[in-house]
Amino acid sequence: IECPEIGGNAWEIKIKYPEIPLVVRLHAPDYLVEHLKKRYVSLFAKLRFVAGSVRRLKFDLGYWKPYDKLADPDYQFIRLADGITAPSEPMKQWAILNWKIGPAKIKVIPNIFIAPRALTQMVIPATNSYKQILFFGRLNVLKGLVNATLAMNKILKEYPEWKFRVIGDDGNGPENNISMKKWMMLKLHGVLNRIEFMDGLSYEKLPAVIYDCEIVLLPSLFESFSYTCAEAMAAGKAVVGSKNGGMADLIQNGKSGVLVNPENDKDIYNALRKIINNNEFRYSISVEARRRITRDFDSNKIRLESDTYYKSLIA
């Protein structure tokens, strides 16, 4: 049996058939995701929550409450596992640190990614012909759009010939009662004439909107893997990705992309500026990005690795 840790949906199966090996495939535990969602909650809102609990005579530290893994259903489920796999080394390290799982218990096997021919056959421009930066994914704080927005505001003001394309369905912003898209538009009001917002597209239409962008910006607070990053690399784009999470496994910093601290807008700004100012560097990391994702993350190799691992548990 293979099942994600989130929700422990195979719990009853494992209890009823304990002799069947259970592999828990780490995606991103609920605690991790919820913790990151609260990263931009204001101090006032946090204090108001605690004060409200005192008024109700149910004192609750709320956002400052220490994490208790024994009360976490995801951790309780993973204790039933005969084997644990993670799609990236950072995801494994999170489980080791927060759940105190022995390193030998967790096997890192990347997600299988089969790059569409429409991406791998896309021409990599030798010059900055389009001068366009792209973000694609869900619009929310988890995708690192708070600091990405601050960085892009500086970039678009400094480089008036460059544009920014944002593709994705709208989600929650860092402030109450305002969406991510509206928050971005407020922060980017001075350069909105060079920003294009597009609602989420079907997968088949993605290559067409990636084509005329030289740089892809993906500063997620955490990703256990990142298909978006893999797609951008397969398309031969210069990727500015997050050093927190699975992108750090995909991208070799300075060789097949640039890794940044997603919570530091200056770091994002400097990475974008370096790529914009050095076309030779942009071209080299774009070429290497495609080579990296199609060679080192070959789907057949990963499939065989998974197969070997499952058979070892059965044996």
| Per-residue model confidence (pLDDT) at position 200 | 74
Residue type at position 138: R
Which pLDDT tens digit goes with each residue over 156-180?
999 999 999 999 999 999 987 899 9
Instruction: Calculate what percentage of the chain has a pLDDT beyond 70.
Output: 92
Query: In the numeric block, which tokens belong to residue 176?
Result: 């109450």
Q: What count of other Cβ atoms lies within 10 Å of the Cβ of residue 20?
A: 13
Q: What DSSP letter does each residue of the chain carry, written as one string? A: -EEESGGGTTHHHHHH-TTS--EEE-S--HHHHHHHHGGG--HHHHHHHHHHHHHTT----GGGPPP-GGG-HHHHHHTT-SEEEESSHHHHHHHHHHH---GGGEEE-PPP----HHHHTS---SS-SS-EEEEES-BSGGGTHHHHHHHHHHHHHH-TT-EEEEES-B-B-SSTT-BHHHHHHHHTGGGGGGEEEE----GGGHHHHHTT-SEEEE--S-BSS-HHHHHHHHTT-EEEEESSBTHHHH--BTTTBEEE-TT-HHHHHHHHHHHHH-HHHHHHHHHHHHHIIIIIT-HHHHHHHHHHHHHHHH-
pLDDT-based confidence at residue 40 (cuts at 50, 70, 90): confident
Instruction: Calculate what percentage of the chain has a pLDDT beyond 90.
Output: 83
User: Quick one: how far is CA 98 from the chain centroid?
Assistant: 19
| Per-residue model confidence (pLDDT) at position 315 | 86
| Per-residue model confidence (pLDDT) at position 262 | 97
pLDDT-based confidence at residue 52 (cuts at 50, 70, 90): low
Which pLDDT tens digit goes with each residue over 205-222?
889 999 999 999 999 999
- Which of 165, 160, 222 shows the shortest CA–CA distance to 190? 160
pLDDT-based confidence at residue 224 (cuts at 50, 70, 90): very high
Query: In the numeric block, which tokens belong to residue 292?
Result: 């990296």
Which pLDDT tens digit goes with each residue over 89-101?
999 999 999 999 9
Which pLDDT tens digit goes with each residue over 239-286?
999 999 999 999 999 999 999 999 999 999 999 999 999 999 999 999
